Amino acid sequence: MASKRKMSLERKKAWFGVLFITPWLLGFILLMAVPFIQSLQFSFHKLSLTSEGYDLQYVGLDNFKHILFVDAWYVRNLTEAVTTMALNVPLIIFFSLFTATLLSQKFRGRMLARAIIFLPVVLASGVIAKLDNGNFLAQVMGTSSTDLESNYSGLRSLELRPLLLQAGLSFDVVNYLTGAVDRIYQIISSSGVQILIFLAGLQSVSSSLYEAAKMEGATGYEAFWKITFPMISPLILTNVVYTIIDSFYNNRMTEMIQSTAFGGLNFGVSAAMSWIYFLVISIILVISTYFISKKVFYHD
């Protein structure tokens, strides 16, 4: 009887999972499945616009050969997108977890602190973002320093670099830390959803675990690494996947794909660019999920 009940519970959880992803499946089948297949078809053809619509001429792998071996910018932009993702994802995850841990503590003015933390995230897609893209803030403050993504950064690392070098850190570590300072606005504005997910996970951890750990004489540091971190490790995997996808959403690579399709009307080459981009992102997601999932702790 116990085994049957267990199987029944597992089936119920499985059906809940199916119901949870049903809206996405319906949306993909009804709205995205046909364009998805057509883009794969276009990548092996040369598309020409006609008075009746469009005409396809099969060219095989010529579109892929062109963007990989002839186009001077595709591989460069793809490499830059992957490098930027690899640099930003650990910083965003660390900042989100650190901020969520602070905001989950009980202290006076916690709601005000949360509002202040989320204010840059809310404004990132509004007026401040437009001012930032137009470099208006740089003109007001009398500076014109921008990072690799052409985003304004009011915090520069000119004073921090010699201090870190004098402390004995390696040149690569110093470059990574100072680059994080230069991209602080981008990191903060990209951490809103991750902070919310971590904050929800931290608030779901049972307080009895911390009370038992305190009675056993555990310090706050030990409680974090023995209780908090394992309990929210599934959310770390979720946030890593989300952050990787979000980092590839809008950059020079996507701009190049759009300009090739709608600016140069070269839809076949654009489709080939999209599919290589899609495969690279998929490979990165599979590798990241595989290694991180090995360390994830699931509490039943």
Overall number of domains in the chain = 1
Six token digits for residue 94: 């660390």
264 lies in some domain: yes
Instruction: Spell out a b/e string for 239-262, using b for 16 or more CB atoms within 10 Å of the CB, else e.
Output: bbebbbebbbeebbbbebbeebbe
Write out residues in the chain with pLDDT < 70, as ranges.
1-7, 120-161, 163-168, 171-174, 176-177, 179-182, 299-300
- Kindly give, in sequence order, each residue whose CB lies less than 8 Å from that of residue 268, ignoring residues fewer than 6 positions away: 42, 43, 44, 45, 46, 47, 59, 63
CB 125, CB 280: distance < 8 Å:
no
d(C-alpha 298, C-alpha 300), whole Å: 6
The pLDDT assigned to 158 comes to 60
Query: Longest C-alpha distance within the chain, in Å?
Result: 79
Left (φ > 0), alpha (ψ -120 to 50) or beta: where does 150 sit?
A: left
Whether residue 265 is contained in a domain is answered as: yes
* 39 is a domain residue: no
Does 21 reside within a domain?
A: no
Q: Which domain holds residue 164?
A: 50-293
d(CA 156, CA 159): 8
By the 8 A CB rule, do 289 and 241 touch?
yes
Distance CA(194)–CA(238), nearest Å, equals 9
pLDDT of residue 154: 46
Q: Evaluate whether residue 299 is within a structural domain.
A: no
pLDDT at 106: 78
Alpha-carbon span 91 to 180, nearest angstrom: 7
Per-residue pLDDT at 93: 92
A 10 A CB-CB count for 77 gives: 19
pLDDT in tens, 99-138: 888 888 877 777 787 777 777 666 654 445 555 444 444 4
CATH number of the domain enclosing 59: 1.10.3720.10
* pLDDT given at position 192: 82
Note the pTM of the prediction, 2 decimals. 0.77
Contacts 24+ apart (CB under 8 A), 85-88: 85/244, 85/247, 85/248, 85/284, 87/176, 87/179, 87/180, 87/183, 88/183, 88/186, 88/187, 88/190, 88/243, 88/247
In a domain, 24, yes or no: no
User: Is 223 inside a domain boundary?
Assistant: yes
Backbone angles phi, psi at 291, to 5 degrees: -75, -40
Residue 5: predicted pLDDT: 52
